[in-house]
Amino acid sequence: MISFLQQNAFWIITIVKIALLLFIVLTVNAYLTWFERKVVAHIQSRWGPHRVGPHGLLQPAADGLKFLFKEDPTPAGVDRFVYYLAPFLALMLSLTALAVIPFGPDPINVFGQKIYLWITNPDIGLLVLFAITALSVYGIALAGWASNSKYSLLGGLRSSAQMISYELALTMSVVGVLLMANTFSLQGIIEQQSNAKWGVGILGWNVLAWTRQGLMWPQIFGFICFFTSAIAETNRAPFDLPEAESELVAGFHTEYASFKFAMFFIAEYTAMITVSCLATILFFGGWLSPFPATSVWTFTHYIPSITLIPFGLWVIYDGIRYETIFGKLVLPAVGFAMFAIGAALLAGAWIAPLHTVNEFIQPVFWFTAKILVFLFFYVWARGTLPRLRYDQLMNVGWKVLLPVSIANVIVTAAIVLWRSHA
């Protein structure tokens, strides 16, 4: 038994990693819906979900149960194979994109096996993500067509036309980063951003681009093009005309009910997460801390614990004063857990095993923090900006974002060439 495990260790570790990643991402998806509803509600001066569980935290579970128990009708006259294929395709492609995203630099050593914090790290990782983005147009186009309904067809066609238009700007805006990194692999791109002058932290990130060879062209314009195209690519507000309720009923997923609609929903939120991961990796240094990596700055390694401790205390305080008994029990427990973890990490300054845990937590903490910032931007844009009309949308994609990203490529290429000669 042990020898079987040891011989096939690679496959078993990979399968366990995949299962763990899927579990984590689906849970993050569920709580992302909670986060979005709460934030949009507070932007609109109302409360959002606050009844199901303390602060509405069990709302995603209630939604999930609802999706499982709702009736799932199939409209008449649909092309059955394509109708069932479309949401499956959308979901499968969204989840596959997470296989190439690296979550941390150093491997964990368990039983003598090195376990890296990614599922795979191909040399062409970024191209794999673009390939999946290119294929995810099919989920929407086929959903719109298979529904045997005019509204769905129009919504599907509009949405896919929007997606393929913004794919161009998306890929072009990343080429500046590739010129500086010389590799397509995502882990290599983060490595390149860590080779900054004097271990410079935040300045070495591609957004500000002060690398070892000198100040390169800051990729801030590339980042703006990338993020805008990504919002359009995932069909989120303000680019969500094809699925807007007041315009085309619900666009391409009008005829999909309960679980198939949930599949589209999960696919969309997973795409949001993937895009946020990509934005942090390409432009904001991935798992690198904003503080330099020199010895003077090692006190910044305790920032995760210093943020967890007051947050845990605040959750305890809020839980004690909560209305329902369930909230009075659960919230202080959660808050105490956060406080305990924060205190344990802080104690790493004096206790050696906790110190290694603290060092290990660093890259994961910064990566997660940056992803949360981008997810907040997504939700903020949804709550604040008005929807773009379809012709305005296509104009922005072709006439504004594409020329800006091409100009970014040209300027970056010129400066990289100049720096490598000088």
Partner 1 sequence: MNPALLIFFVLAGLALLGAGSLVLQKHPIHSALSLIVVMVSLAGLYLLMGAEFVAMVQIIVYGGAIMVLFIFVIMLLNAGEEEHTDLSKLAKFAGLPLALALTASLAALVFKPDAGVPTAAHAFIPKATEQISSMLFKEFVYPFELTSFLILVAIMGALVLAQREKK
Residue 212: phi and psi, rounded to 5, are -65, -30
Cα gap 307→343, rounded to integer Å: 10
**40: β partners:** none
**Residue 375: how many CB atoms within 10 A of its CB?**
20
Q: Between 99 and 308, name the residue whose CB sits nearer to partner 1.
A: 99
Q: Give me the sign of the Cα torsion angle 2, 4, 7, 9.
A: negative
Site for partner 1 in 281-300 (CB under 8 A): none
**196: β partners:** 211
Q: Between 124 and 385, name the residue whose CB sits nearer to partner 1.
A: 124
To partner 1, the closest distance from the beta carbon of 394 in angstroms equals 15
What are the start-end ranges of the H helices in 296-324?
A: 303-320
Site for partner 1 in 82-121 (CB under 8 A): 82, 85
- Single out the residue of 95, 107, 173, 179 nearest to residue 135, CA to CA: 95
Q: Between 81 and 380, name the residue whose CB sits nearer to partner 1.
A: 81
Q: Between 262 and 409, name the residue whose CB sits nearer to partner 1.
A: 409
List the x/- string, 114-153, binding to partner 1 by CB under 8 A: --------xxx--xx-xx-xxx-xx--xx-xx-------x
How many residues are listed for the chain in this entry? 422
The maximal CA–CA distance of the chain, rounded, in angstroms, is 69
Site for partner 1 in 175-234 (CB under 8 A): 184
Decide if 155 contacts 146 (C-beta within 8 A). no
Q: Between 85 and 303, name the residue whose CB sits nearer to partner 1.
A: 85
To partner 1, the closest distance from the beta carbon of 124 in angstroms equals 5
Cα gap 327→12, rounded to integer Å: 40
Strand 113-115, strand 108-110: pairing? antiparallel
For residue 336, state whether it binds partner 1 (rule: CB under 8 A): no
Q: Between 254 and 362, name the residue whose CB sits nearer to partner 1.
A: 254
Number of residues that bind partner 1 (CB under 8 A): 27
Stretch that binds partner 1, among 19-27, 161-169, 193-201, 403-411 (CB under 8 A): 161-169
Q: Which residues bind partner 1 (CB under 8 A)?
A: 79, 81-82, 85, 122-124, 127-128, 130-131, 133-135, 137-138, 141-142, 144-145, 153, 157, 160-161, 164, 167, 184
